Structure 1
Amino acid sequence: MKLINYILVFGLSTLTLHAQEKKDMGRFFGGFETNAQRYLEFENDENSPEYFRSNNYLQLNYEVKKWTFGMQVESYEKQALLNYYPGFDGTNVATYFAKYKTKKLEATAGYFYEQFGSGMILRAWEDRSLGINTALRGGKVFYKPTKDIKFKAFYGQQRSGFKVSEGHLYGFDLETNLSDLLSFEEADFEIGFSNVNRYEKIDQSMVLHPSFSPTTHAFSLRSAFSQGIFYSSFEANYKSKDATLNRITNSISNDFINDGNALQFNLGIAKDGLGIDLTLRRTQNMLFTSERIPEAVGLNQSSLDYSDKVINFTPALTKQHHSNLANIYVYQAQAGVEFKSNEIMKSGETGGQLDVVYEFAKDTKLGGKYGTKLALNYASWYNLPGTYRAVPAQYETNFFGVGEKYFSDFNIEVKKQFSENSRASFLYVNQYYNKPWVEDASHDVNTHIFYGEWIYSLTKSKSIRVDVEHMWADADFKNWMGGSMEYNFNEKFSVYAMDLINYGNTKDKEERKKHYLTIGGAYRKGATRVALGYGRQRGGLVCVGGVCRFVPESTGISLSFNTAF
């Protein structure tokens, strides 16, 4: 009934939209989204018997003159989709805000989102597909006294389900453009400084006689420079000493207190069909949460496994593949400290990613009539080198060098248009995935993947897309093959079918050599989209933008609907 009431509010708000505008009393706008699944079969979810689940989001905003008011109602009935944070339960008002905005000043009270720099000390954000919403409840001020100076300040408590964290966050960010001051006529130079502080009262349930401060400070200094075809950026981050979380016992103590730091450097050029981009990053003990001890959730899990109460943002800097098989062994950034055993002890990560893109010109030998695009990418990530001891837990790292290898990905992609109606792409991927260190598994994995895609346009709005792919893997679930077909009848309606087959599986029972077949379709009209699908979901990591969540294997019918008004 609660969900029905909220849907009625949505309907009434859209009916009053035009009337409000005519009276010059502002305007309503917002959106509604629902993602529902009827599970016919799922595994490893004994504590969640509900076979029908849905995530629903209703966003309502009202804007009048310099003011904007908004709220988001969320409903997870009877439960949220599989492996969403259990705090997303029931129906309630999730976020609300009031904002006042002029040319120089913007002030927000209520819930808000924010990011300082690259996000390595603060990023409050939402991604519904990952089940992440780390909005802050409090207040934020943005002030721009001149075109070259920007200042932000905030205070808040972080959202966790329909509640907020015990920890209190506050800080500021200052960014200035120095190009005019330095008389740069053809160059652009910016610097920024950020500070984020977390205060959490330390009681005896955490640790007796704490030898660390209730307040943890984080600082960030960054710069960005560009001129002509060249660009670069640099960011340095520091987190003050604090108790380090023991992930095995989900506890902290006075015996394992460390500071943290992170450095990121980016360099690139772009000119005449050539693009080169290099990013290097080193992070040490940079897990930053609004509560020191995560909430225990289920067996051997905590709220941290759902990215709950995480203040900062450290995505994996690797290629975001569109191949399904290339996303089976996908890397997650290892930014924190984790001592899993006497053999596996981590304090962060070091590595980088190189992208090279070149477009062969049209009417050349390699470019042909329509041109050819070539893309090379290489990413490699390692544990920090140094000395580690499990009992008592401690570590000392070296700034340069690399430790145990976590992951590497080398790939090359060629995109070619053969005619006005036909184009194709071909991808080769070679991956190394250290599953014992990244996922607590028994074997590391080496893969070779080939992927091909062909798109043919029948008319301006009608097209067909076909892809095929194969993975050779030397361990874990061994070899896979797959493919998909999509047909677009017009700009509004499309259907698809996709299948993945783990034919090389020798690890488990013969029955696990199954098809992961999915069929479905989507209809779009204006700002509204409806999609219906049926199939089996491969268990594993689902990732968006370098951030991942685990989903168990399941079979079912899915329905999604979203609209904006």
Structure 2
Amino acid sequence: MKKKHLLPAVALLALPVCAQEMENDGHYNPSLSGSVQSDMLVPQGTQSDGSHENFRTNTYLDLNFMSKFLDAGGRFSYLDHPLPGFEKDFKGWGVPYFYLKAKFRNVEVTGGNFYEQFGSGFILRTYEERSLGIDNSLFGARAILKPIKGVRLKGLAGRQRRYWNYNHAWLAGADLELSIDQWVKALEQSGTYLTLGGSYLNKREGADEDGSVFYDATHKLNFPTSVDAWDVRANLQKGPFSLLAEYAQKTQDPSFDNGYIYRKGYAAMLSASYSKKGFSVLAQAKRTDNMSSRSRRQMNGSSSFIDHMPAFAYEHTYTLAALYPYATQLAKGEWAYQGQVGYNFKRRTLLGGKYGTGLQVNFSHIHSIAKNAHGLAGHAGTAGGRGTDGYGSAFWKWGNETYYQDFNVQLDKRLTRNFKLHLMYMNQLYNKTAVEGEGGKIRSNIFVADAKYQFSPKTTLRAEAQYLTTPNDEGDWAFGLLELSLAPHWMFTVSDEYNVGKTHKHYWNVLATYNVGSHRIQAGYVRTRAGYNCSGGVCRYVPSYQGWTVSYNYNF
């Protein structure tokens, strides 16, 4: 495997030479860009995998060569001694991502690795998210055509990356977007933009790719070798108003996620927003039903996903507000709702005061869908179980479980010219059993105060105080942070996450950051708790660890 990765590595190293030669020839002015990211840890004590390694690192080098007609690039990754939580499957090194892209007037063709998303990602989304350990690029070919004004057509085929290998299933699909406003002058003249889209994706996977899955003691399941999915959508924008409607469906796709049932999958979403200076409104609703889709049917965890469903839960950045993050329940199905209202009270008014006041209210509610078991059970099976159609589900009917609920109010207030305050109150319901498999329902109240004082144009001190109170799980938590910024180069951060309820453990972080030009280096001592790291409704479990850390980032 390592030898296979050396060939694209040599090609990457040759890119600067090619760029220089082409520039000297005077044909056009190519450019070379890239980045280096290296996160290093010298751990203290026995690690989560039982090892005693004294050095760990996740290191990445990205190079991209761009010219008028040809782009090329790749990524070298070194995870031979990976950070905690990356030990399984991620361990290794090589060039897992490289591509060549030819560009013409109305055609773009890519060969090698690439990322792609159709619509909102209901049937296809491949992307990289290093903090979650996700890099599920496709290896194959893609063409993007713009044959006439207002038409954009994509076609692709390839296999999906899973860590250092590729799954056996082949994916092939197409996506069409029509910008109607570019054809209808009345729409364009009135500032109205209307886009219609449609997508199709086919997955071909061997019926017995991972070995037989048995229905009972004597019968095995007959898997479909071809699974089809399609998506239609419409996006309307006029001035401050925007409306998006999308619907997707896929054929029978029995898998580990859905318990090997033969029910079709469905997804529907409606999102509306209105925004103008000082006022904004967002309202969203989404229903998903058996939409988990992977390029390897017997996989679990966060790997091999073909599709992506947005969580419709407010994505918090404060530590305790993000203590119980929600992960989208693709296989189970869910009704998800999110609403948000923002208003800025004007300066020199009763509620605005001297500098104005910002208020934001958010609400998220995610509920199970109603299910009625049905389907032929067979002589040894159970109705609604493995090998059957699974269940029926009325579109509008809720199930009996609340998976997640979040109500939060946030206030931004500048008290003086140099002092700014952000306050948040949050009431949360987290169904740990539904999301993680056990733990019951956790009801919590969270309070956050974030203050920033600017002593001078180059010196700023920021402080956070957070408190989470709950009678469930591990009980109450407290968090404090001090961050001193000495622009343009230095930043010093000290924080502590403390469990008040049961364990009474402190999780200290002491960090110093230095920035110069395109270079950024951070060093210090960290102690992190075990828990889930989430982004966009996708989560990865991270074990607890402690030790000395250094992170280096460089962009060029």
Q: Give yes or no for TM over 0.5.
A: yes
Aligned partners of 1:467, 1:555: CA distance in 2, in Å? 22
Q: CA deviation at 1:18?
A: 7.3
Task: Name the counterpart of 1:402.
Answer: 398
More displaced, 23-32 or 271-280?
Answer: 23-32
Task: Name the counterpart of 1:343.
Answer: none
Aligned partners of 1:49, 1:109: CA distance in 2, in Å? 41
Structure 1 residues 158 and 9, CA, compared in 2 at 3 Å: closer, same or farther?
A: closer
Aligned partners of 1:491, 1:103: CA distance in 2, in Å? 42
Task: Name the counterpart of 1:263.
Answer: 268
1:58-457 alignment to 2 at 5 Å? Answer: 58-78=61-81, 80-84=82-86, 86-182=88-184, 183-184=186-187, 185-186=189-190, 187-203=192-208, 205-207=211-213, 210-245=221-256, 252=260, 256-294=261-299, 304-305=300-301, 307-336=302-331, 347-388=332-373, 391-392=382-383, 393=385, 394-403=390-399, 404-457=401-454
More displaced, 386-395 or 413-422?
Answer: 386-395
Structure 1 residues 531 and 21, CA, compared in 2 at 3 Å: closer, same or farther?
A: farther
Name the amino acid aligned to 2:391.
Answer: Y
Structure 1 residues 137 and 85, CA, compared in 2 at 3 Å: closer, same or farther?
A: farther
Structure 1 residues 42 and 385, CA, compared in 2 at 3 Å: closer, same or farther?
A: farther
Answer whether contact 1:373 1:415 (CA < 8 A) is retained: yes
Structure 2 length as normaliser, TM-score?
0.90
Q: Which residue of 477, 481, 484 corresponds with 1:484?
A: 481
**2:533 pairs with 1:563:** no
Answer whether contact 2:320 2:468 (CA < 8 A) is retained: yes
Task: Name the counterpart of 1:37.
Answer: 41
Task: Name the counterpart of 2:467.
Answer: 470
Q: CA deviation at 1:245?
A: 2.1
1:85-128 Cα deviation digits (max 9, x unpaired)? 73322221111110011332111000011100001110111011
Task: Name the counterpart of 2:378.
Answer: none
Mark the runs of 5 or more structure 1 residues left unpaired by the alignment. Answer: 295-303, 337-346, 506-511
Task: Name the counterpart of 1:536.
Answer: 527
Q: CA deviation at 1:544?
A: 2.5
Name the amino acid aligned to 1:225.
Answer: L
1:512-531 alignment to 2 at 5 Å? Answer: 512-531=503-522
Answer whether contact 1:175 1:193 (CA < 8 A) is retained: yes
Aligned partners of 1:436, 1:209: CA distance in 2, in Å? 31
Task: Name the counterpart of 2:377.
Answer: none
Q: CA deviation at 1:422?
A: 1.3
Aligned partners of 1:35, 1:20: CA distance in 2, in Å? 35
Aligned partners of 2:59, 2:144: CA distance in 1, in Å? 31
Answer whether contact 1:284 1:348 (CA < 8 A) is retained: yes
Name the amino acid aligned to 2:77.
Answer: E
Answer whether contact 1:96 1:111 (CA < 8 A) is retained: yes
Task: Say which SS state the counterpart of residue 436 (structure 1) adopts.
Answer: helix
Structure 1 residues 437 and 51, CA, compared in 2 at 3 Å: closer, same or farther?
A: farther
More displaced, 5-14 or 397-406?
Answer: 5-14
Task: Say which SS state the counterpart of residue 321 (structure 2) adopts.
Answer: helix
Task: Say which SS state the counterpart of residue 333 (structure 1) adopts.
Answer: coil
Task: Name the counterpart of 1:341.
Answer: none
Aligned partners of 1:163, 1:57: CA distance in 2, in Å? 18
Aligned partners of 1:492, 1:266: CA distance in 2, in Å? 42
Answer whether contact 1:10 1:58 (CA < 8 A) is retained: no
Structure 1 residues 190 and 277, CA, compared in 2 at 3 Å: closer, same or farther?
A: same
State the number of aligned residues: 531
1:322-352 Cα deviation digits (max 9, x unpaired)? 221111111111011xxxxxxxxxx311121
Task: Say which SS state the counterpart of residue 219 (structure 1) adopts.
Answer: strand
Structure 1 residues 325 and 103, CA, compared in 2 at 3 Å: closer, same or farther?
A: same
Structure 1 residues 22 and 484, CA, compared in 2 at 3 Å: closer, same or farther?
A: farther
Task: Say which SS state the counterpart of residue 264 (structure 2) adopts.
Answer: strand
Answer whether contact 2:47 2:84 (CA < 8 A) is retained: no
Aligned partners of 2:151, 2:554: CA distance in 1, in Å? 37
Task: Name the counterpart of 1:504.
Answer: 501
Aligned partners of 2:176, 2:448: CA distance in 1, in Å? 45
Aligned partners of 1:471, 1:213: CA distance in 2, in Å? 48
Answer whether contact 1:462 1:491 (CA < 8 A) is retained: no
1:496-537 Cα deviation digits (max 9, x unpaired)? 0010110111xxxxxx31101101011112222111121211
Q: CA deviation at 1:421?
A: 1.5
Answer whether contact 2:19 2:65 (CA < 8 A) is retained: no
Task: Name the counterpart of 2:32.
Answer: 28
1:410-456 Cα deviation digits (max 9, x unpaired)? 00000011222111100000000111111122321110011001111
1:358-414 Cα deviation digits (max 9, x unpaired)? 111112111112211100000010111122489341322221132211110000000
Q: CA deviation at 1:271?
A: 2.4
Task: Say which SS state the counterpart of residue 202 (structure 1) adopts.
Answer: coil
Answer whether contact 1:425 1:454 (CA < 8 A) is retained: yes
Answer whether contact 2:294 2:304 (CA < 8 A) is retained: yes
Q: CA deviation at 1:180?
A: 4.2
Q: CA deviation at 1:28?
A: 2.3
Aligned partners of 1:172, 1:103: CA distance in 2, in Å? 20
Structure 1 residues 142 and 118, CA, compared in 2 at 3 Å: closer, same or farther?
A: same
Aligned partners of 2:450, 2:486: CA distance in 1, in Å? 19
Answer whether contact 1:501 1:513 (CA < 8 A) is retained: yes
Name the amino acid aligned to 2:38.
Answer: T
Mark the runs of 5 or more structure 2 residues left unpaired by the alignment. Answer: 214-218, 375-380
Name the amino acid aligned to 1:436.
Answer: T
Structure 1 residues 147 and 559, CA, compared in 2 at 3 Å: closer, same or farther?
A: farther
Structure 1 residues 17 and 486, CA, compared in 2 at 3 Å: closer, same or farther?
A: farther
